[in-house]
Structure formats: structure tokens, C-alpha cells
Amino acid sequence: MSQSINLEPVNALDHTAFVGAFASVFEHFPRAAEDAWNERPFASATALHDAMMDVIRKLDTQGQRDFLNLHPLLSGANIRAGTMTADSNAEQKSAGLDAMSNEDEATLDKLNAAYLERHGFPFIICVRHYTREGIFSALERRITRNTQQEMDEALAQIAAITRARLNARLSTLNLMELRRA
């Protein structure tokens, strides 16, 4: 994360404003922002992200599984249907998942189903770090791993996803603050 981001305005936010600004960083899980607010003041963007991730890490195994199940499947159909959050939609589009052939979509659906059946939660990957082919390859490889490895990997991928989302929100907040000055 950028060290040039001024966190004074973030640290000064009341609980409602803080949650409003950061609730959507974690997919359908505003609790990450709600609980992280108590850890203010944040010395850096990394400290803020770590506080939010700690909320997830402190969940018991079933809580983490429930959290993982809040995430959408990788799917061109989901993009076209508009059923995902704006962040997920943009991220999946960035990997070209909205422009797959019918054959690739069928393959992805089959792999998603196999992964979900084996592990009990959707395949999660920071799609911005992969090509479409890389995503398919990782999905095929990760299906066969044990579920605890996959929970750990899914949380690591979520950390990468949310780091980028948080950085974008912090940059936006800083721009708004600079315009007011």
C-alpha cells in the first residue's frame, strides 16, 4: 500500500462514517470494518488492512467457512446477470471472464462445481494477478489440495483482493480531502 496516503482523516471518522467508507472492502462482510474501527488510530494503510484481516483470522473455522461462502463464483454468467458487487464484477471483467467462449464457460462451471463440492466454499483467487488461463490452471490444481490448505490460500487471496480495494478507497478519500483543503 502506498505510504503517501494520509490516514488522519480516516482515523478521525466516527464509527458510522468509517463503516460507510470501508464496509464493502470485504465481500458482504461489513463486520471487518465495524470491528477494525476499534483499533484506530492506524499508523499506515497496512495497519488498517491488517486490522480488518484480523477480524477474519479470529473467526473460528465455521465462521471462516461462512465468510468464504459470501464470495461469488467466478462466472461470465454472474457478470452478465449483474448479481455480484461492483468490485467483484470489475475484477472478474479485468480477467476477461465476461468474454469467454461457451466452451470455456462450461469448463469453468464444471471446475467451480468440483471445487465447491470438494471444499465446501467457492474458489477464490485475486483475478487481477492472473491471466484467464492462469486462473483455470490454478483452479484445476487447487481442486485436489486439502481443504485446510485451500482455506488458508483463499484467505491469502482475499488479503490480496482487499488490499487493492482498500487502497483504492483510501486514494479516493485522500483526493476528496485534498479538494476540500
Map 144-159 to HEC letters. CCCHHHHHHHHHHHHH
pLDDT digits (tens, 9 = 90+) for 45-103: 999 999 999 999 999 999 999 999 999 999 988 898 888 999 999 999 999 999 999 99
pLDDT digits (tens, 9 = 90+) for 5-25: 889 999 999 999 999 999 999
Enumerate the active-site residues: 71
CA distance 25 to 36: 12
Return the pLDDT at 125.
98
Beta strand ranges found along 93-161 (DSSP E): none
The answer to whether residues 92 and 71 touch, using CB atoms and an 8 Å cutoff, is: no
Residue in 86, 97, 99 with CA at minimum distance from that of residue 125: 97
Provide the pLDDT confidence category of residue 156 given band limits of 50, 70 and 90: very high
The answer to whether residues 127 and 137 touch, using CB atoms and an 8 Å cutoff, is: no
Return the pLDDT at 177.
61
CA distance 105 to 164: 26
CA distance 177 to 114: 47
Return the pLDDT at 62.
97
CA distance 46 to 166: 10
**At residue 1, does pLDDT exceed 60?**
no
Domains and CATH numbers, the chain: 8-65+159-180 (1.10.3330.10), 74-150 (1.10.3330.10)
Return the pLDDT at 179.
57
